[in-house]
Structure 1
Amino acid sequence: MSYRLLSLACLAAALALPAEACRPFGSYQFVEDAAGGLWFTEGDNNAVSRLAPDGSVTAHKLPTPNAEPSSLALDRAGKLWFVEMEGGRIGRLERSGRITEFPTTDGHPGTIAVDARGDAWFTQMAGHEASTDPHAGHGSAMVAKVGRIDAAGKMHDYRLAEGWPTSIAFARGDDRAWVSVLVPGERPRGKLLRLDRTGRWTPVAAWDNSCPGNLTLQANGRPAYSDHCRGVVGRVDGRGRLVEQTLPAGTYIQQLAAAPDGSLWFSGDEKGRLGRVDRDGKLSYLERRADDQTMAVLVTRRGEVVFSEFYNYNINRLTRAGDYVEHLVNVDERKDVREVREGEVCYVRFAARIAAKAEMDEKRAAEVRSGRFKPDGQGTEKLVEEKCLACHDARRLLLSRRSDWTPSIVRMHAYRDIRGAGALSPEDTARIVAYFNTHYGLSR
């Protein structure tokens, strides 16, 4: 297979400019519109954006700062619905470019789906995550639920008796939701439920030692899902029956995507590979020249596989011919743009970093190899190692650069609590944020 990264024109422009730092995470999710455009999330750019078939990118900035857009869904009218994880809101982008935000209550939204009528449904955690917006979640009543926004913009809440929803999807033409649920514990329990517009929950299946999620729509119009704890992928067949396939031990699925041929592609492999489960349950991996873990994944109507990576903000595409194409996405503002119309776009300010993303400067590469943070003369690097590595591994933090580290560090409060680690004091938080902004900020 060939691996086409950049055109010569982009490289020539890039070499004349200083290197720019990589964005911390790739997009959380993709969705394809009727014209073949790909919508994706931009965390640090605080935008939902569209990669057009000609390679150009249009970003739509969000009204709420540091909203951390994640899950996306399109309705039949072409309106884009999206989740603002940190903002505690559900957003709707009209075709005109107008954005409307709907505040959620009692926690933080996670994933979103649209039913046959055009209503937007979303999952919501029970308020365990910290927020940078003191008004988001209205103080949080620790309630896990599914929310629905109807055509009039009215919010409806459907609370769960136990656990929290991990994903949501709709079978084609249906307005009853499929919801996967995790009930945490020493041996977690998983459930698959149906939810109608009246708020009635109907059990479909329940499992011990289970953590189901990643509900996604198959080519047959029915959902599929994964369950990492039990090591299976499940499908709803044409008769509405569950059919599960056991995966080899150690298989990890970050995100699941259904292909037109009935296969399921997945991201999350630690070796940077894309995984595929065929209709008979046979698992295979697609090798590629990268060591970055894949994150979001989508299979287009044409059968192309689009995916993002944890440490690289570009959009990657595997064509039907077996070629890899990397679409370049700008770091922050859309400035100094230079486009190449053959399916790729090069943003000059970011191009140098993208062209040499595997060739970091010698000092920084040594940091990543050793897993040691940059000394600041005040011992803050030791505080980082003591207080932050309970949440993320050193490589992830060393490679992840943000324009403002406040949201990431604040989220560590919740993660540390889950892992039973000591809390970050306000002084620790301020010191660590200043350290990362100085030494690992986006402008560095």
Structure 2
Amino acid sequence: MATPTVREFPLTGPESGPYAITLGPDGALWFTLVHSGRIGRLDPDGTHTGHDLGDPECGPTVLTTGPDDALWFTEYKAHRIGRITTAGAVTHFDPLTPGSGPYGITAGPDGALWFTETVANRIGRIDPAGRVTGFALPIADAFPSAITTGADGALWFTLNAADALGRITTTGEVTVHPLPTRGAAPVGIAAAADGSLWFTEIGAGAIGRLDRTGEYRQFPLPDPQSRPHAVALDTAGDCWFTEWGTNRVGRLAGDGTLTEYDLPTPGAEPHGLVQGPDGAIWVALEVGALARITP
């Protein structure tokens, strides 16, 4: 194992559950507190604030910065989309399909937010005014999970139960790309500037890469039970990911070189991660903390 600087910042108890994290338009780190119905913020000087969403059971899950410089997030248990300004003003939007189980969300190239509906088996779109449209998927019970905007101007998403990636254009045309590994169960996905896509294969204990020509490459991790979950790219193009099953964070360089970092707290349950304004990698730990990794 590598020995970088790994520091944990306890912010809440495990009853709050930091889950996803992103860099906000104000230069602060914003994260969801999935178990307590709150959104957290950590500014560059270390000040932590929390924002109540009005429903402790709403299950805020994944969040992203929208084109309006607000943070948009999925509420998995409340089956709706949320928006919070950097000043803390919260708005909720009901998606097109009741009981849809929204999970992943990303800012699209068309000025709207695109999200997955895991239960409804659809991809949703919401514009900054709150107007929602939805698109059915061609494979039943595929469990669309994470979603990202590709360099090709389309939205790419993981189909966890179908062992596939999906692609949808901004006009709603869907294409499915099956993965060769049965039981790969992809979850996290991130798009690189060169047109490639990096994604976690939680069921296979591997990281996958699909380049812009459609060539697939798999990077098996040393422990097949590592359960890689979320994935993010840094400014150097390296692929970072959380290993939920082994309490580690991994990094894959473009040439496939793997480095793994142990987290200090046992059972920390690492989920989302992002490169912060300080250049370090910040990880949401469901145990109630954020971790900062400086390679």
Q: TM-score range by the shorter chain?
A: 0.7 to 0.9
Which one-letter code corresponds to 1:26 in the other structure?
G
Aligned match of 1:229: 203
Tell me, in whole angstroms, the C-alpha distance in 1 between the residues paired with 2:25 and 2:87. 16
Alignment correspondent of 2:83: 92
**Residue in 2 that maps onto 1:179:** 157
In structure 2, relative to structure 1, the CA distance for the partners of 1:208 and 1:315 (3 Å cut) is: closer
Shift of 1:25: 5.7
Counterpart selection for 2:279 from 275, 299, 303: 303
Residue 240 to residue 53, structure 1, CA distance change in 2 (3 Å):
farther
Write out aligned runs for 1:40-439 (5 A): 40-104=31-95, 105-106=97-98, 107-126=100-119, 143-161=120-138, 162=140, 163-172=142-151, 174=153, 176-183=154-161, 189-207=162-180, 209=182, 210-218=184-192, 220=194, 222-237=196-211, 239-247=212-220, 248=222, 250=224, 251-293=226-268, 294-300=270-276, 302-311=278-287, 313-319=288-294
Deviation at 1:119, TM superposition (A): 0.8
Q: Provide closer, same or farther for how the CA distance between residues 26 and 298 of structure 1 changes in structure 2, counting only shifts above 3 A.
A: farther
Cα deviation code 1:220-254 (max 9, x no counterpart): 465311223344422344x4544413313514202
Residues of 1 paired with 2:124 and 2:292: CA distance?
Answer: 33
Pair 5,302 (structure 1): closer, same or farther in 2 beyond 3 Å: closer
Question: Cα deviation per residue 1:319-357 (whole Å; 9 max; x = unaligned)?
Answer: 3xx5xxxxxxxxxxxxxxxxxxxxxxxxxxxxxxxxxxx
What percentage of aligned pairs have identical amino acids? 27
TM-score computed with the length of structure 1 as normaliser: 0.58
Give the AA of the match of 1:290. Answer: T
Query: Which letter does structure 2 place at the counterpart of 1:255?
Result: A
Distance in 2 separating the partners of 1:34 and 1:221: 24
1:213 Cα shift? Answer: 2.2
CA 1:178 to 1:271, structure 2 compared with 1: closer, same or farther past 3 Å?
A: closer
SS of 2:163's partner is strand
In structure 1, the residue corresponding to 2:67 is in which secondary structure? Answer: coil
- 2:180 aligned counterpart, secondary structure: strand
Give 1:73 deviation, angstroms: 0.8
Q: Which has the higher strand share?
A: 2
Taking the aligned partners of 2:199 and 2:90, their CA distance within structure 1 comes to: 31
Structure that is richer in helix per residue: 1
Aligned amino acid, residue 40 of structure 1 = F
Distance in 2, matches of 1:283 and 1:37, equals 29
**How many residues are aligned here?**
284
- Computing the radius of gyration from Cα coordinates, the structure with the larger value is 1
Q: Which amino acid aligns with 2:243?
A: G
C-alpha root-mean-square deviation of aligned residues, in Å?
2.8
